[in-house]
Amino acid sequence: MRMTRTIKWGLVALFWLGWSAACTSFSYSWRLAINHPIDWISLAPLYFAAYAVWGVFTVIVVHLGQRFPLERGKWFRSVLVHVLCAPCVAGLHSLITSFLNPWIWPDMTTKEAFSHAMQRNFLMMGSDDIFIYFTIVFTVQGWMYYQRYRDRELRTSVLETQLAKAQLMALKVQLHPHFLFNTLNSITELMHSDVRVAERVITRLSDLLRMTLENIGTQEVSLRDELDFVRGYLEIEQMRFQDRLHIDYEIAPETLDARVPNLMLQPLVENAVRHGISKSSKLGLIRIKTEIQGTRLCVYIRDNGPGLKTNGYSPAANFGIGLSTTRTRLEFLYGKDHSLELNNLPEGGLEVRLVVPFHALLKKVEVPSQPLTNSIPVRPTLEGVRS
């Protein structure tokens, strides 16, 4: 729970009141020790007035500490600003106390020039003021670092929650009664015509479930593993659509070791199947392409479906829960350092363009000699579909 601004500055005021009382008590005890006692009540106005001024200066110093943080890339400028500002604040404090002393402590104020009084106060209190200035600055820096740590902890917690939702969503898609019913029906038919293909479909279905369960709690996987999962999903979907679905892969080998969020591509491919291919009676085409552009990993998923509805619809209305969860996870993982765009293609269909920072896994896996293509063979009675 974050403190409100009123509570924060209330604690600052309470601190300086307590500090003033402590300094008054220390001075009172010291004067007793040297046999020059002064009443505590008589000492109090001087210290309370001096440190009440510091209560106001705290607002200024906190602003300077936040405006010029001591962090990488800003060290020289920030240190220079604080080194110049600290004596200026100390001088201003001496000016104010020199003006207040005759009014607060008239019996103990000597008749001297104001400039001499200010000089004496600066020499007496300047080092303390500079010490207080940098103490406040370092306290502000510590608080800022603490807040960043808490924000990272919160970000990690939310990421884990979003990942769990994505994994549960993938399981829901694969275990959806309608999907499972159609898949099992296809397997039943294949058992009479091509047992090998039927066994392959059963294996891929079990692989999907196993891969999903094995990666629970994993934030990032290699693009290779993510494509294996997507390929298994599309193999089963291709079995359902038979000769109406064609898959093309154009995967750059140097992208296979890239780190990507777990279950990142499956919702995007599912969107192409459910909202693109399934709503068209013509031959469906899904093309997945990856490439590296500078320090960016680019993934393109294209289909030849009807595309986005733009007339009278908000673009956000085209996003399902899976895509919304993917977008949220990308925002938490990369902040503004990513893009996820859905655009209608001039020739018809939809293109999903995903761009994220390219980071390779430390442990690289050998690139397969064969290209990534669909591995379910076509039934002998069907023609015209190349996998």
Domain residue extents for the chain: 5-154, 176-357
- What per-residue confidence (pLDDT) applies to 379? 35
> What pLDDT shows up at residue 364?
42
Q: Are 350 and 308 in contact (CB under 8 A)?
A: yes
Q: Which ranges of the chain would DSSP assign to H, the alpha helix?
A: 5-33, 40-67, 75-104, 114-175, 177-193, 195-214, 223-241, 266-275, 321-334
CB 331 within 8 A of CB 345: no
Q: Which residues contact 263 (CB under 8 A, 6 or more apart)?
A: 163, 166, 167, 170, 212, 215, 226, 229
What are 284's strand-pairing partners?
245
pLDDT at res. 229:
86
pLDDT at 297: 96
Q: Which token pair is 233?
A: 């999903």
Neighbouring CB atoms inside 10 A of 386's CB total 9
Q: What are phi and psi of 353, to 5 degrees?
A: -115, 115
What is the predicted pLDDT for the residue at 386?
A: 32
What pLDDT was estimated at residue 383?
Answer: 32
The residue behind tokens 């996870």 is 329
Q: What confidence score (pLDDT) does residue 313 get?
A: 41
Residue 166 burial (10 A CB sphere; 0-12, 13-18, 19+):
buried
> Could you tell me the pTM of the whole model?
0.52
CATH of domain 176-357: 3.30.565.10
Instruction: Report the pLDDT value the prediction gives residue 106, as an integer from 0 to 100.
Output: 56
> What local confidence, expressed as pLDDT, does residue 171 receive?
54
Cβ neighbours for 298, distance < 8 A, ≥ 6 positions apart: 290, 291, 292, 353, 354, 355
Q: What is the pLDDT along the chain (387 residues), one digit of tens a residue?
A: 456 777 777 777 888 888 888 878 887 888 788 777 777 777 777 777 777 778 788 888 888 988 888 887 788 888 999 999 999 988 888 887 777 766 665 555 556 666 777 777 777 778 888 888 898 899 889 888 888 888 888 888 888 877 777 765 665 555 456 556 767 777 887 788 788 888 888 888 888 778 777 776 677 889 999 999 889 888 888 877 777 889 999 999 999 999 998 888 888 888 888 777 777 778 889 999 999 999 999 999 999 888 887 654 444 444 556 677 788 778 878 888 999 999 999 888 899 999 999 988 655 444 443 444 343 333 333 333 332
Q: How confident is the model at residue 380, as a pLDDT?
A: 34
| Tokens 């009084």, residue located | 117
pLDDT at 114: 67
